[in-house]
Structures are given as structure tokens and as C-alpha cells.
Amino acid sequence: MTYYIVIREKTDSDTPALSELVRNGYASNVNNAWINALFHEITFQFIILITALLFICFGVPLYYSIVSVPVVLTGIYFAIYSAFFMKAAQLLYEKRPLSCWVAEAYEPYFFAKDPKQCWYKIVDDVEEFRREVKEEQFQRRIIGSVAVSQHFQKEESSWLFRLVVDKKYRRKGIGLRLVNTAQSWCRTNQFNSIELAISECQDGCRELFNKAGFEVEQLYHKQLFGRLLTLQMFQLKCEVRSTF
């Protein structure tokens, strides 16, 4: 049986599923961000400082001072999780998109297979798809999304954000098709370029955007909680205006 992924514009009824998808998508980056934070020099300095303060200034026995290390690491993890959770909420409720698209999986009822092991046909001509396929034969769920807004500094540029694909459906070309859809919309609406920002812990995204024709515009560091928790960010840019 053929399984489908339909790329279409978001509707109001998609909001609850989209909210859950975005939160889960950002939560999936927490572990990578935490591991990156553990190998930052300032993290080691902070751990040594806490241990020294407990032992020297407060008279805590050395054993208990050392035991405090995993407590500090756990605190860093929850700080990163909180930062990502707040970022997801900001993207959902504060940032207004000019346009937004979702990827919707069409699967049979009582679908028990692992999506990672299935092949999906990705379609973006919704009207033709609905004429050829009986929708009542499938259950549907939102498994991906992307949005475009006006660039905050450049009037002739747009800003791509909220790109997320359910982790069970990754490596199937869905993310690239969503990005291509956004690029086509920006080209049609007379934008010269499209930009975005991703962090150092989003390796898969960097590979995807390379395929989509994006190049690094600048590098910078974003503070999550002061200098202790920072992420290296990549601002990427792709020209979308017609060349003729």
C-alpha cells in the first residue's frame, strides 16, 4: 500500500497538532545542546568553582562537594530544556508568519508499522491528490511544518523559521520539500532572499540547508543563560529572486 505525505498550507484546525509538533521538535535538540555545553571550557570552570566554594567557604566535606557535580550537570540540563521550551513557545505564539505550511501523513487506520521503515510519496498538488485518493480511507496527522515571516532588518528579504519534522519521519526528504515550498512562495512574492538561523547542535539541518542552496552569512554566539550556556549560531542565506 502507498503512504503519502501531503504538503499544504496550514489551517486553524492544525494549531493544536502543530503546537505539539514544534515543542517535541525543539525538545529533541536538548540532548545535543547539553552535550555541547559539557565540553565548553566555562562549564568545567563553573563546576570547579562550585566544588571549591562548597569545600573551602562552606566547609562541606570533599566527598559531598564532589557529589554536587552531577547536581550541577542536571541543573544545566534543565536550564537548556527550559530555554528550548521558551523558544518553542515564542515561535508558536509571538512570531507572526506571512505564510505557513504543514506536512500531513496519510496512513491507513490501525497503522502499526514503524514510519522509519516505510516509503512515502510526497505530494504538493493537494487538489489533484484529493481527486485521485479517497481521504476517508486514511488517518491523517501533522508530522512537519515550516513558516516564513518578514525579515526583521531587510525589507526585501524573508525569514524562514519553525522548520520541524517528527523524528520518526526524518531522512525522507520532507524537510527539504518544506524548504523548497517556502523558497517558491518567497520567489512568487517578490522577495530577493530568504534567511534563517540554526544552532551548532542541529547537524541534520545544516546538511538539509546545504542541499537547498543556503550559504553561511555569519557566525555568532547566542546566550541561553549568561556566558555559562551559549550556542554557536549559523545565519544562513539563499537568493530566491529570478535571474531573468
pLDDT tens digit sequence for 94-122? 778 999 999 999 999 888 889 999 999 99
pLDDT at residue 242 in the model: 65
pLDDT at residue 80 in the model: 83
pLDDT at residue 81 in the model: 86
pLDDT at residue 210 in the model: 94
pLDDT tens digit sequence for 60-100? 777 666 777 888 888 888 888 888 888 888 888 877 899 99
pLDDT at residue 226 in the model: 60
pLDDT at residue 98 in the model: 95
Residues of the chain with confidence (pLDDT) below 70: 63-65, 224-229, 242-244
Strands 229-239 and 215-225: antiparallel
Contact status, residue 14 vs residue 6, Cβ threshold 8 Å: no
pLDDT at residue 17 in the model: 95
- Residue 201, CB-side half-sphere exposure with 13 Å CA sphere: 21
pLDDT at residue 224 in the model: 66
Domains of the chain in sequence order: 3-31+91-239 (3.40.630.30)
pLDDT at residue 203 in the model: 73
Distance CA 11, CA 243 (A): 33
